[in-house]
Chains A and B, each alone.
Chain A
Amino acid sequence: MSPSQLAQRTRGPKVRHEGNSKSAPPSPWAGRWRRGSPLWFRVPLAIAIPVVALLVAPELKNSSLHLYTEIGIWAAVAVSLHLVLGFAGQLSLASGAFLTLGAYIGARATGFWHWPGLLTVAVTAVAALVLALAISVVIFRARGLHFALLTAGISLVAFGVIVNWQSVTGGSGGMSTGGPLSEGGAPGPLTLGPIEIDSAEQYFVAQAVLLSALLLGISILMRRKTGESWKAIREDDVLAASVGVNVPREKQIAFVLSSVLIALIGVFHAHWVGFVSPESYSFAKASFEPVAMIMIGGIGTIFGPVIGAAVVVGLPEMLRDADEASVLIYGILLLLVVMVAPRGFLGLVKSGLALLLSLGSRRRAPADDEGAGPPPEPSESGPSQLAGKTS
């Protein structure tokens, strides 16, 4: 890392503070925009989204309900994964493993053991917690590409297990939440205490509740000490350690929390689909696509993964008419998005806003110029180069 980069990184958080405390008259929105909306705005917003979902649900066609629910579920996966990837700055491809874990426990428990939903959720959470803890003890000894491969390895091993352990997972044929295929059972509902989620509309509303609760929780967490520590680790873990952040512990917390959340979403996903098979949790689908969602939406932002999920899940749906070429068009669009906006959609919006603000104000903090300047060195949003830390 060059000295100027280091200086820029060390300056980052300090400038952000200035922006918060005394937002100078020429750019009153700069501080507000950086800090995000206040709590009195976000809590009602988080309540309003599910309410709107509840109101519009009867109006929607079945196909739209399906699409929006799928987007919402994958957005929740991406938002959870983003804790490790975007905030703690570790490229984790392990999401597939935990999604699989949750989905298979969910399908097995409802379909074969007839557990109540709350027990399933509790067991999944504990299983994911134990597994993630065990993995996190050793996994953070690797960094950068090594970390990515190690987590990819965990996902691929999980895939191998569900294909081969036929007596429990149904092998490549999969299994239904309605029990053995011979009994021809319809998919079982997800019962959480008094609530029973069964119809497409109910899943749609439940998904909205889940996603907005997750977003609210994370947005609050990110303003607390934990969140700030994670951002510090993302920017520079040596520097973070030097100011008293317990780097290994914080990374572990981020990984375990994200893994447990993804496993719980897995339970939900399995019940919504009604059927689990290795195909739904392949490496490309369950491990890589969430990473792509985060990248496309904008890494380091709260809403980025949601936008990314809408793009990644929605695009193939929109391109369905293109038939054979649809995956090709998807690949080309993905490439173009990364080329045009390497920091994601929200990164593009942010630099655009920064540019507008810099045009509108004469008094400018030096760090803002760096942020909006031509070399797209991600200093505030967007984790720093993983591999770049070595030189």
Chain B
Amino acid sequence: MGGVHDIGGSPGGPIDRGQHEVEDWERLADAINGALGAKGLQSTDQHRRAIESLAEYRDLSYYERWVAATEKLLVEKGVLSSDEIDERAAEIQRRWNGP
């Protein structure tokens, strides 16, 4: 059987035609992906492969998959470590949650 992403012809429910407002973090996910690609630091094919390998594929939204895949590639290439991303993300989240 094909991978988790290989869903052409699978059963599917009604199509939700609603459109959510693109959030700033989603714009940023797009931009980081584009900027890394423009510099040759990752390719579309690598990013797709990383998305397809996510265990949480079905549980994540489109841009959540993008972020998870970008992280996977950056760690794979030794550019960033999961630990430092964890740490910084926690700091940022604390700042947002307020005092």
Bound together: no
Residues of B within 8 A of A (CB): none
